[in-house]
Amino acid sequence: MYGFQGTLVRTKPKPVSPKLTRSFRRRAKRELLSPSALLPPHPHPTDGMAPPAPNPPKSSSPSQPSGKSEVTDLKLQLRQLAGSIAPGSDDSRRELFKKVISFMTVGIDVSAAFSEMVMCSATSDVVLKKMCYLYVCNYARSNPDLALLTINFLQKDCRDEDPMIRGLALRSLSSLRVANLVEYLVAPLTSGLRDSSPYVRMVAAIGVLKLYHISPSTCLDSDFPAMLKSLMLNDPDAQVVANCMSSLQEIWNLEAGNLEEVSREREALLSKQVVYYLLNRIREFNEWAQCLVLELASKYIPSDSNEIFDIMNLLEDRLQHANSAVVLATIKLFLFLTMSMADVHQQVYERIKAPLLTLVSSGGPEQSFAVLSHLHLLVMRAPILFSSDYKHFYCQYSEPSYVKKLKLEMLTSIANESNTYEIVTELCEYVANVDVSISRESIRAIGKIALQQYDVNAIVDRLLQFLEMEKDYVTAETLVLVKDLLRKYPQWSHDCIAVVGNISSKNVQEPKGKAALIWMLGEYSNDMLDAPYILESLLENWDEEHAPEVRLHLLTATMKCFFKRPPEAQKALGAALAAGLADSHQDVHDRALFYYRLLQYDVSVAERLVNPPKQAVSVFADTQSSEIKDRIFEEFNSLSVLYQQPAYMFTDKEHRGPFEFAEELGSLSLDPDTVENVIPVQSYGSSDNDLLLGSFEKEDGRAVANNDSAYSAPGYSTSLIPDADFLNLTTPSIPSQPSSVLVDLLGLGTPDTPPPPALKLNPKGVLDPGSFQRKWGQLTTTVSQELALNPQGVAALAAPQALLRHMQGRSIQCIASGGQPPNLKFFFFAQRDGETSSFFLVECLINTSSAKAQIKIKTEDPSLSEPFSALFQSALTELSPS
């Protein structure tokens, strides 16, 4: 196969002479630019800067040696050479060692040669030592007893006079990962941290972290964190500082218990002194360490706006760094710093625009992918930002699909009145031109833009043209979209139905498209002459229809059709119910049975249920709660943004990154009650549940599909009550507080006030932002609730300061606020007046357009959370314009 030519076993490795090797060295490629023959040649320097060329030992083996005999043979040769000090013996050893490493790499177990390797390692040759260390580290974990053999020489090498060897030995020693050898690690690490060579200190700093992972107690008991901290603040070498920082962050993060001391240490890392020290030195760090520093700084909470501007001025030049990770880290820092200063925040968006656009087109496609994911997140928060730069997101023919997909998402998100025409025109190009998956995505993108209410007229025309392209997948996707559009804009039904009516159901194979077509047949039976007959012919092929989704729709559509054109559809309905009752799929069977019994019970009730008066859907449900989106934003510049999921959804607890903030959000957000902050949608009727849940989340596999129970039972059980539909209209989505909702609906604006609080708060409570953040991270949420605000309160919120003053009057202090109307976010705290003086922390999200507030309360004394919650809610609902 590859690589090793010649024979594997040689009795005597022949050292190759140095001269020979050098002359075989491959010559470095000289032409920097295109190898154009027509260009006048550059004067080139003569040799000299050729990279250290590879000169593979063309010695060894057929690629898959059987193993045993070769290993035995190697052992023998190593043993012969072990004590030799003859000239050239190091070369022979090198050859042998290389062979061992090669074997190891291709997966042959050479651990049998352990003792021989260790014997040969008594040498001053760095190369030999390196290979030996590599070998030892590789086998130590599986052979702890043998590993003990190596401790001695590794420890000795840690005291070698060559700093290179000291560093390497220390790295190997700390990488052994054998629990019962940690005692031998403490002393070398301690002296390593004090070593005169920065290389050794750099290795030792990470070594401490390695030790921590083997034995946390040993690491903490030996007081290593304190040593790291002082090194971090005093070492002249930037890489040493960076490694100390990495280690400390990880250690304190993993220690994140409730220990007072640990949280103090964590906080200390974010203190003004440390952050300023690191930021002032940022230019000395290499690019990776700069990312670390910037990341750390983004957790820092400045005390006033002067500080914010100082930091931003200091770091503005980082936006010009060639490393996209540094630029993104800087952007994160800027955005986080200015969170509470709306106008500056906007300026930051303007400032980061150009660097971001450059990043999209520079670097490999993978980097574009990462950057585009971040851009998408930003655009969701500030859609206007890139609206005039939409051309940057046009797809290029040769780009990989994953980049194209993100670009389509970007185009969808930035479409507005001014650019829709151009964007849709471009998207139409993709429908006809490029590969199938992008073509599908493009159609969906066009649909999403249409649902955003821009230039619908032209878009509908175009969609209908797609149907004439007669490509199966285009038709199917388009049908799904036409269906969604009709639900939102019933006024287009005439145009659409005329075209859709011409499509033969035989030409639509994909379940989703077919289901959409059938839905339209049922819904618009009156406008489509052939509807009952088409349904009838579809029902004849019931058994060949594999997708239960299609069969469900067929049932419902036939029902609808029956109520609209009874004489013509009666036969079809009978066939549908019979086929449905005999169906092996549970949902299909149940629905058929339900219809059957409903018809038996009362035909008029059945009609009201299946064919209620149509009302347009105003907004399709968004699958991700704003809380999750905020959470993802908090984790800017990490995988969370790429997955569109907060970290807790894809990492184990012990692998969470440093300084994870408010972890318990995770469990909360998964709770179906909180996810359901769906904007109240007026429904067509329970039989349309599957359509009601919005078309987006079904397509979007990456989204957090909690609503996947499209055909779930509860929908039907409630429908058994004749008035279910009516109820469904009046109490959307907030089952927990029906009274307040009803009151609100009636527009009386006098919410029921909870009983007077028995809790007394300290009017002069004090808490600094750092402690707030720490406490917020430690405590768990005791109360999480959504409540309605009265209209006067909402009006008062036009000036958020009003709320702050109002709450202050009730001894509740605001510590941070932000967001832009209609979404405002506040953090409050209060302190109990009394001997225990425990704190209450509140996160309050207010949506002024829907007049809702979501509050989350954390407290140090869970027994007081109920009274405090009542107090807070009453305070909030009493808000009115002063």
Binders in 405-464 for another protein, by CB under 8 A: 426, 429, 432-437, 439
Closest separation between CB of residue 654 and another protein, Å? 8
Instruction: Choose between 304 and 652: whose C-beta lies nearer to another protein.
Output: 652
Footprint on residues 33-62 left by another protein (CB under 8 A): 33-34, 36, 38-39, 42-43, 45, 48-49, 51-56
Binding to another protein, residues 665-694 (CB under 8 A): none
Among 320, 753, 836, 849, binds another protein (CB under 8 A): 320
Minimal distance, residue 511 CB to another protein, in Å: 19
Among 361, 388, 457, 541, binds another protein (CB under 8 A): 361
Q: How many CB atoms lie within 10 A of CB 223?
A: 10
Residues 68-97 that bind another protein (CB under 8 A): 94
Q: How far is the CB of 227 from another protein (least distance, A)?
A: 17
Read off φ and ψ for residue 73, nearest 5 degrees: -65, -45
List the interface residues with another protein, window 811-870 (CB under 8 A). Answer: none
Task: For residue 334, give both structure tokens.
Answer: 């800027």
d(CA 845, CA 822): 10
Residue 288 CB, nearest approach to another protein (Å): 4
CB of 268 to another protein, least distance (A): 17
Structure tokens at 402: 């994953």
Q: Is 505 left (phi over 0), alpha (psi -120 to 50) or beta?
A: alpha
In angstroms, give the least distance from the CB of 580 to another protein: 33
Which H/E stretch holds residue 97?
Answer: helix 89-106
What is the nearest approach in angstroms of another protein to the Cβ of residue 135? 10
Give whichever of 78 and 606 is closer to another protein, judged by the CB atom. 78
Q: Which residues pair with 847 in a beta bridge?
A: 823, 852
Question: Whole-number minimum distance, CB 650 to another protein, in Å?
Answer: 6
Element (H, E) at 327: helix 324-337
Kindly state the smallest distance separating residue 132's Cβ from another protein, in Å.
11
Applying CB under 8 A, which of residues 10, 79, 177, 629 lies at the interface with another protein?
177
Q: Does the protein bind another protein through residue 695 (CB under 8 A)?
A: no
Is residue 281 a contact point for another protein (CB under 8 A)? Answer: no
Neighbour count for residue 312 (Cβ, 10 Å): 18
Range in contact with another protein (rule: CB under 8 A) among 458-466, 643-651, 765-773, 863-871: 643-651
Q: How far is the C-alpha of 93 from the C-alpha of 95, rounded, in Å?
A: 5
Nearest Cα to Cα of residue 754 among 876, 856, 882 = 876
Check residue 387 for interaction with another protein (CB under 8 A).
no
Tokens 């490393």 appear where? 323
Backbone angles phi, psi at 807, to 5 degrees: -70, -35
Contact indicator for 168, 133 with CB cutoff of 8 Å? yes
4 in contact with another protein (CB under 8 A):
yes
Written as six digits, the tokens of 364 are 């490999």
Q: Is 506 in the site for another protein (CB under 8 A)?
A: no
Q: Is 394 in the site for another protein (CB under 8 A)?
A: yes
Among 68, 194, 213, 494, binds another protein (CB under 8 A): 213
Measure the CA–CA gap between 653 and 254, rounded to whole angstroms: 9
Interacting residue with another protein among 96, 147, 181, 328 (CB under 8 A): 328
Gap between the Cα atoms of 66 and 837, Å rounded: 73
Told to check if 362 binds another protein by CB under 8 A, we report: yes
Which residue is it, tokens 């249920």?
609
- Closest CB to another protein among residues 50, 713: 50
Q: How far is the CB of 196 from another protein (least distance, A)?
A: 9
- Nearer to another protein by Cβ, of 131 and 335: the residue is 131
Q: Which two tokens stand for residue 780?
A: 């768990």
Please name every residue paired with 813 in a beta bridge, in sequence order, or none if there are none: 829
CA distances for 519 relative to 154, 206, 286, 576, 603, angstroms: 74, 62, 60, 15, 21
Site for another protein in 103-142 (CB under 8 A): 105, 125-127, 130-131, 134, 141
Neighbours of 719 (CB within 10 A): 20
> CB of residue 283 vs another protein: minimum separation in angstroms?
8
- Report the C-alpha gap between 438 and 449 in whole angstroms: 16
Q: How many CA atoms lie within 13 A of 712 on its CB side?
A: 8
* Nearest distance in Å: CB 536, another protein: 28
Residue 357 sits in the site that holds another protein (CB under 8 A) = yes
Helix (H, G, I), strand (E, B) or coil at 846: strand
For residue 30, the minimal CB distance to another protein (Å) is: 10
Q: What angle do CA 176, 178, 179 make, to 5 degrees?
A: 140
**Can residue 736 be called a binding residue for another protein (CB under 8 A)?**
no
Q: Which strands sit side by side in the sheet containing 839-847, from one edge to the other?
A: 781-788, 852-859, 839-847, 823-831, 813-820
CB 108 within 8 A of CB 65: yes
Name which of residues 287 to 306 contact another protein (CB under 8 A): 287-288, 291-292, 295-296
**Residue 812: both structure tokens together:** 């509740």
- Pick 434 or 581: Cβ nearer another protein: 434
Residue 643 sits in the site that holds another protein (CB under 8 A): yes
Find the binder of another protein among 400, 574, 809, 834 (CB under 8 A).
400
* CB of 122 or CB of 432, closer to another protein: 432
506 or 764: CB nearest another protein: 506
Closest approach, Cβ 276 to another protein, in A, equals 17
Figure out which of the listed residues 256, 371, 538, 797 binds another protein, where binding follows CB under 8 A.
Answer: 371
In 434-565, where does DSSP find H-type helix? Answer: 436-451, 456-467, 472-488, 493-500, 511-523, 531-540, 548-564
